[in-house]
Structures are given as structure tokens and as C-alpha cells.
Structure 1
Amino acid sequence: MKKTPLLNIALSRVVASLGHGDTLLIVDAGMPVPPGVELIDLAVTQGVPDFMTVLTTVLAEMQVESHVLADEMLARQPPALAGIQALRAAGSLGQQRLISHDALKQLSRNARAIVRTGECQPYTNIALVAGVVF
């Protein structure tokens, strides 16, 4: 059995397959998934699993160079924003880039995968750009 906290087979496989510059999105339950982009649907019911649990678990295995948020997230300030800001301050998320929510949807078309959580707070979405460990 794995020693790290990420147990989901599909999610672990995707993280292991990421190369430098590849993008992985972690999104709320309402974010659309473009045709052709792999969906790892973890949503069970409203709030389960929550966004921050999924994000921190993925960060235990993924080297992140930068991340992308929608401007609307900063304006709306869902509860997960404080957690994202703390992770950013700790150096876990690399540089931040802000774009519109519509632009984030466009960016998702080129993602390696999208991870849907049970989060039901609007604009609780992040694009993680893979870095390298060397």
C-alpha cells in the first residue's frame, strides 16, 4: 500500500504522469468539463469531498510551479480562498496568475485532467501547473 496520502488510483496515475508545464485543475461541482479532457470525478454529495482536502492531498504528491485562479474567486471570496492563500504563503503553489472565469474555462480545454470535488461554493477552482523536482 502507498505511504503517501493520495489513495485514489486514477488521481495518483494522473499526478504521476504529469510533465513540466502540464496543467491539472481541481474544481467545484459546477465547473464544466470540456469534451476530451479526462475527468476524475470524486464528488459524492454536496461538500464531499471538500475542495481543500483534495487540494492539500494532491499537493502532497505534485510539484507545482504556478497556479491560476479566476478573478471572480477573489471577488466572491469562497471559504477555500483563505486556504489557498495560506498554501501560497507557505510556498506550495508557486507563482499566482489571475484570469477571468471564462478564461479559466478556456484553459481547462488543454488540461491533462480535471478533478471534480463535491465543493458547492461558486468559483472554487484552481489550475495547477506542474513543476519539476530538479
Structure 2
Amino acid sequence: MRANRIIHPGLAEAIASLGHSDLLLVTDAGFPIPRCANRIDLGFTKGVADVRDIMASLLSEVFIEDATFAPELKTHHPKLYREVQAIFTGTGATFSAASHEELCDDYAYRAKFIVRSGSFDPWANFAMTASTDPFAWFDDDDVRILPAYIERREQIRSSAVPDLQL
């Protein structure tokens, strides 16, 4: 048994298979998941499992460099947007925008896996890009660190709050 870790066998296996720049989606209950997708269905009933809980659990095990979602989240559902900001604060992840149509018609087909929640929140669909640990990589004094990793390290150290620029 894995103490204080994700115990869902399909999700734990999918997480273990992630590499740098792989894409994963966490979606609301109504997201149209393609038949060809690696679907991990955690939706049980309305609100269970909640998209916020799923993302927070994933972030305890996976480094994410970017979270992409519909820009309407910020403008039309500000409460959820603030909650998502809180979940991603200090992770070093940036926020990017993509239309709901892009999430459905492009990102869903490129995702390594899609986690469906039981959330009934509008605009609660997130494409997340997996990263590497910016502290574990480039820890040799003889290796020159890339500027993006310097910036992510600083965002983590300073508990930076990500913000979607519209």
C-alpha cells in the first residue's frame, strides 16, 4: 500500500509513465473524451471526485510546467480560477489559454491520459504539461542550467502565484 500517495492503480501507472513535455488532461464530468484516449474515470457522482482534489493530488506527485485552460475560466468563473491559482501556487507552473474547442479537438487527442472527474463546474478542463524536477536536474556544478529552469526554481522558491494573461 502506498501511504500518502495516489492509490488508484490506473492513475498511478499513468503517472509513472509520464516524461518531460507529456500532456495530461483533468476534466469535468461532461468533457467529450475521445474513444482512443487512455481514460481514467474518477467520476462517481456529482462533485465526486472533484477536479480540484484531483489536480492537487497530481501536483503532489508530478512536476507541471504549464496548465492550459479556456480563458473563460478567469472571466466567467472567477471563484474556480482563484482556487486553481491557489492549487498551482509555488509549483512553478505557468498558465496558458486555449479555447474549449481546442481542448476537445486537439489537446484531448494528444494527451497521454485523461482523468475525468465528477465535477459539474463550467470551464473545469485543464491540459497540463509534465516537467522535470528543476532542482534535481542541473544539480552538477559543471552543467550549465537553462534559463527556463532558473525561472521555474525562482517561482517555486518564492511561491509565485500563476496568472493567465488575457
TM over 0.5: yes
Could you list the structure 1 runs, at least 4 aligned residues long, displaced by more than 3 angstroms after superposition.
none
Residue aligning to 1:91: 90
Q: Displacement, 1:25?
A: 0.4
Look at both structures and tell me which one has the larger radius of gyration over its CA atoms: 2
Q: Is 1:63 aligned to 2:57, yes or no?
A: no
Residue aligning to 1:103: 102
Bigger RCO (CA 8 Å, 6+ sep)? 1
Distance 2:6 2:86 in 1: 21
Distance 1:10 1:34 in 2: 18
Q: Displacement, 1:98?
A: 0.7
Q: In structure 2, the residue corresponding to 1:80 is in which secondary structure?
A: helix
Does structure 2 conserve the Cα–Cα contact (< 8 Å) formed by 1:41 and 1:116?
Answer: yes
Aligned-pair identity in percent equals: 32
* Distance change in 2, residues 1:38/1:107 (3 Å): same
Gaps of 5+ in 2: 138-166
Distance 1:49 1:79 in 2: 18
Does structure 2 conserve the Cα–Cα contact (< 8 Å) formed by 1:46 and 1:119?
Answer: yes
Q: Displacement, 1:46?
A: 0.5
Gaps of 5+ in 1: none
Residue aligning to 2:75: 75
Distance 1:93 1:69 in 2: 17
Residue aligning to 1:30: 30
* Distance change in 2, residues 1:93/1:53 (3 Å): farther
Distance 2:86 2:47 in 1: 21
Q: In structure 2, the residue corresponding to 1:55 is in which secondary structure?
A: helix
Opposite residue 13 of structure 2, the aligned amino acid is R
Q: Deviations over 1:15-64 (max 9, x none)?
A: 11001100110000000111211110011100111111111011111111
Distance 1:55 1:46 in 2: 17
User: Which piece of structure 1 moves more, 1-10 or 122-131?
Assistant: 1-10
Does structure 1 conserve the Cα–Cα contact (< 8 Å) formed by 2:73 and 2:80?
Answer: no
Distance 2:8 2:82 in 1: 26
Q: Displacement, 1:99?
A: 1.3
Q: Displacement, 1:72?
A: 2.1
Aligned residues: 133
